[in-house]
């Protein structure tokens, strides 16, 4: 067995138990530090043993069961059912049902009407009868909440395709929307990237209004007589006007000449085909790919067309079988995100920066950097590519979050070809700086995507999350990256810092857009501010420390409920979880609170709950795709973040800005 200088085995070697042989630097050693050091060794070994031979890490990424239902709906509408798959998917869907008959968005969360309706319909397709006990409980729960008519729009769209709802009672998206110029209100680039692909595909679907009747009705989900069952649509003001305008659009669509409609559909199809990824997907995401497959089928693409065959291959690969006879859909694969976070966690743990596992991870990450323009170029046509996306194959939608976290990891690795790494980091810095919004912050995928109009379009009921405005968590990660790469004094970094300071809530926290929620936002912003030169004694830092201290649970950990997105009174409140405890500790360590009782209690919470295998159990959903609508469970969150926090604790460092400082990158190409 080959050992590194720190005593941890190479990624392809056996796992070493016990002390890592001087991998850490201690100034003193108390009980908490000894326990934390042992926990770091076990966690590092656990992570190293799970690296793929190609250099990447990937945890299981899951959301609620609605996407498992979509998979069954798609196969029915296209006339390609698979009984074995349907039975296996049904077993998974049933296993996620709550005691009250509903299906939640998150582990042990409150029932969600749209998800529950879709789960019920999927189980009916799979053969479950309406008189079975679990189906009776579900139907009663749905009826008590207004029935199908009160469900979110996506559920009713799929039910319309199953013949269980009327297309006439749904808003319409005409394919002619593809022709709107980029400066026009409600052009496709005014929507967020995730919504954009769905919008173009749904415009084709909406024009065809497909119906393949299911062999059942779902009248048992109808609200009882006398119950108000109004769909969740805006009720007044400009929102009500948009619903009236959509009714006008439906009437006008009937008068569109056939050649015009065909030309619009063809333009939509061309736009979609240009964005198909190497793995056959769209955005390397099953929900988007599902919509596009259906749209192309309706447009006339035969099942054996190479485009659809590749897409089906991707959807099949996204089916996971956690146990025999059970199929659960991977909504998306997350190797880039998991790999850069794993590398950072191992570096925080004290693994030698030139360790073969880290070099291998860096080599793989370098092959994932985008080398062609994506949709972001609609607003930055002269900006050179240089970002990273989340998945194996997604060159169309790189994002600032992955890019900054990959760069933070790469700049700390001692790679045998530093010029190659420096060139990649230079491209990343130029791209991120070119993606800064006017207000000084960074969004996920776009620049200045802040229009309020898409939130009022009736076809989407995600509200303000139809767009992609700058957020505190992503801006913090970019700022932290720029500071680590020698850009702390850059005027654009300083402007971002000012924007972050202005985003602090009155209670001292920061909102977390992509993680649940204020604990994530605050744990992200504090390390960035300190890395960028904000003094630890700054009033904003002290307010954040006070807030984190105030929401620490009695057991020493931190937790926050998904419901805090809907109810800010729940900010920082919820059962303790490993990832959220780690986020709070990362913020407190950056703020100079290492020796406080609060930090020691948090460290003790993590060390006492580590499993024999060296990891942590975390069934809770602490990731976010769309606040209040789509939560996510990252399989590695409950491991890499505790390893980061404990590693920084035992090594007496509160931030990740350790490693080679690089020269200022050239100006971004606008």
pLDDT at 44 over 70: yes
> 163-200: per-residue pLDDT in tens?
999 998 888 889 999 999 999 988 999 999 888 999 99
User: For residue 21, what pLDDT is reported?
Assistant: 41
Distance separating alpha carbons of residues 71 and 89, to the nearest angstrom: 9
pLDDT at 582 over 80: yes
Confidence of residue 322 (pLDDT cuts 50, 70, 90): confident
User: For residue 9, what pLDDT is reported?
Assistant: 38
User: For residue 616, what pLDDT is reported?
Assistant: 98
pLDDT at 144 over 80: yes
pLDDT at 394 over 80: yes
* H-assigned helices in 52-180: 66-77, 83-95, 113-125, 133-144, 153-161
User: For residue 31, what pLDDT is reported?
Assistant: 78
pLDDT at 539 over 70: yes
For 555: left if phi > 0, alpha if psi spans -120 to 50, otherwise beta; the answer is: alpha
| Strand, helix or coil for residue 627 | coil
Residue 632 φ then ψ, to 5°: -140, 145
The residues near 407 (Cβ < 8 Å, ≥ 6 apart) are: 425, 428, 429, 432, 481, 484, 485
> 209-219: per-residue pLDDT in tens?
999 999 999 99
Which comes out higher in pLDDT, residue 670 or 605? 605
Confidence of residue 462 (pLDDT cuts 50, 70, 90): low
User: For residue 169, what pLDDT is reported?
Assistant: 87
Which comes out higher in pLDDT, residue 186 or 142? 142
Active site residues: 401
Closest CA to 67 of 22, 28, 114: 114
Closest CA to 400 of 142, 193, 90, 164: 193
pLDDT at 20 over 80: no
Radius of gyration, alpha carbons of the chain: 25
Q: What number of other Cβ atoms are within 10 A of residue 542's Cβ?
A: 14
User: For residue 257, what pLDDT is reported?
Assistant: 87
Tokens of 409: 């990891």
Mean pLDDT of the chain: 89
User: For residue 252, what pLDDT is reported?
Assistant: 65
pLDDT at 471 over 90: yes
Distance separating alpha carbons of residues 201 and 209, to the nearest angstrom: 12
Closest CA to 363 of 410, 423, 306, 303: 410
Distance separating alpha carbons of residues 505 and 568, to the nearest angstrom: 11
Segment among 10-24, 142-156, 303-317 with least mean pLDDT: 10-24
Confidence of residue 504 (pLDDT cuts 50, 70, 90): very high
Confidence of residue 32 (pLDDT cuts 50, 70, 90): confident
Which comes out higher in pLDDT, residue 3 or 188? 188
Distance separating alpha carbons of residues 225 and 273, to the nearest angstrom: 47
> 272-295: per-residue pLDDT in tens?
999 999 999 999 999 999 999 999
Mean pLDDT confidence for 612-628: 95
Contact 466, 406 (CB under 8 A): no
Q: What's the pTM?
A: 0.91
Contact 194, 281 (CB under 8 A): no
User: For residue 458, what pLDDT is reported?
Assistant: 66
CA 498 to each of CA 207, 221, 443, 478: distance values in angstroms, whole numbers, following the listed order: 47, 51, 16, 14
> 100-132: per-residue pLDDT in tens?
999 999 999 999 999 999 999 999 999 999 999
Segment among 43-52, 165-174, 579-588, 591-600 with least mean pLDDT: 165-174
Distance separating alpha carbons of residues 338 and 409, to the nearest angstrom: 11
Distance separating alpha carbons of residues 78 and 478, to the nearest angstrom: 43
Distance separating alpha carbons of residues 430 and 439, to the nearest angstrom: 18
Mean pLDDT confidence for 87-93: 97
């Amino acid at each position: 067995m080959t050992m590194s200088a720190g005593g941890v085995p190479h990624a392809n070697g056996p796992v070493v138990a016990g002390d890592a042989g001087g991998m850490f630097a201690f100034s003193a050693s108390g009980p908490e530090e000894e326990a934390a050091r042992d926990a770091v060794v076990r966690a590092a070994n656990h992570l190293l043993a799970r690296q793929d031979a190609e250099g990447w890490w990937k945890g299981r990424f899951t959301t609620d069961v609605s996407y498992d239902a979509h998979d069954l709906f798609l196969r029915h509408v296209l006339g390609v059912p698979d009984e074995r798959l349907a039975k296996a998917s049904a077993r998974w869907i049933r296993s996620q049902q709550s005691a009250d008959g509903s299906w939640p968005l998150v582990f042990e969360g409150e029932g969600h009407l749209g998800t529950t309706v879709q789960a019920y319909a999927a189980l009916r397709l799979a053969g479950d009868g309406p008189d079975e006990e679990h189906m009776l409980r579900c139907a009663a729960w749905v009826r008590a909440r207004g029935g199908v008519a009160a469900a979110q729009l996506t559920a009713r769209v799929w039910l319309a395709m199953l013949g269980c709802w009327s297309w006439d009672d749904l808003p319409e998206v005409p394919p002619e929307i593809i022709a709107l110029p980029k400066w026009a209100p409600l052009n496709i680039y005014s929507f967020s990237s995730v919504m954009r692909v769905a919008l173009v595909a749904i415009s084709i679907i909406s024009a065809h209004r497909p119906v393949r009747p299911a062999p059942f009705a779902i009248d048992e989900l109808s609200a009882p007589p006398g119950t108000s069952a109004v769909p969740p649509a805006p009720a007044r003001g400009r929102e009500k006007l948009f619903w009236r305008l959509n009714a006008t659009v439906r009437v006008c669509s009937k008068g569109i000449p056939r050649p015009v409609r065909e030309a619009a559909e063809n333009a939509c199809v061309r736009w979609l085909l240009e964005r198909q990824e190497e793995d056959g997907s769209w955005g390397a995401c099953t929900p988007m790919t599902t919509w596009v497959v259906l749209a192309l089928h309706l447009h006339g693409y035969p099942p054996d067309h190479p485009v659809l065959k590749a897409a089906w291959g991707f959807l099949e690969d996204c089916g996971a079988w956690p146990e025999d006879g059970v199929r659960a859909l991977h909504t998306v694969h997350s190797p880039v995100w998991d790999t850069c976070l794993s590398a950072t966690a191992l570096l925080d743990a004290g693994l030698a920066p030139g360790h073969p596992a880290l070099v291998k991870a860096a080599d793989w990450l370098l092959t994932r950097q985008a080398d062609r323009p994506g949709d972001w170029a609609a607003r930055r046509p002269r900006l050179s590519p240089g970002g990273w996306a989340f998945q194996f194959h997604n060159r169309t939608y790189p994002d600032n979050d992955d890019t900054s976290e990959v760069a933070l990891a790469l700049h700390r690795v001692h790679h045998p070809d530093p010029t190659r790494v420096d060139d990649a980091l230079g491209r990343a810095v130029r791209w991120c700086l070119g993606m800064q919004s006017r207000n000084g912050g960074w969004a996920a995928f776009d620049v200045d995507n802040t229009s309020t109009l898409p939130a009022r379009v009736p076809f989407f009921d995600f509200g303000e999350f139809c767009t992609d405005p700058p957020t505190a968590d992503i801006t913090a990660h970019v700022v932290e990256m720029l500071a680590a790469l020698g850009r702390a004094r850059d005027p654009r970094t300083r402007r971002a810092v000012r924007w972050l300071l202005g985003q602090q809530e009155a209670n001292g926290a920061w909102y977390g857009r992509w993680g649940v929620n204020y604990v994530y936002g605050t744990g992200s912003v504090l390390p960035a501010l300190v890395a960028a030169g904000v003094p630890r004694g700054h009033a904003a830092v002290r307010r954040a420390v006070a807030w984190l201290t105030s929401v620490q649970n009695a057991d020493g950990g931190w937790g926050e409920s998904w419901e805090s997105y809907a109810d800010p009174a729940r900010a920082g409140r919820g059962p303790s979880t490993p990832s959220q405890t780690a986020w709070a500790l990362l913020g407190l360590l950056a703020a100079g609170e290492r020796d406080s009782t609060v930090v020691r209690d948090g460290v003790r919470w993590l060390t006492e709950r580590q499993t024999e295998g060296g990891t942590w159990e975390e069934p809770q959903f602490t990731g976010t795709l769309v606040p209040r609508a789509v939560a996510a469970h990252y399989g590695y969150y409950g491991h890499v973040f505790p390893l980061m926090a404990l590693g920084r604790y035992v090594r007496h460092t509160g931030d990740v800005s350790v490693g080679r400082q690089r020269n200022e990158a050239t100006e971004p190409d606008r």
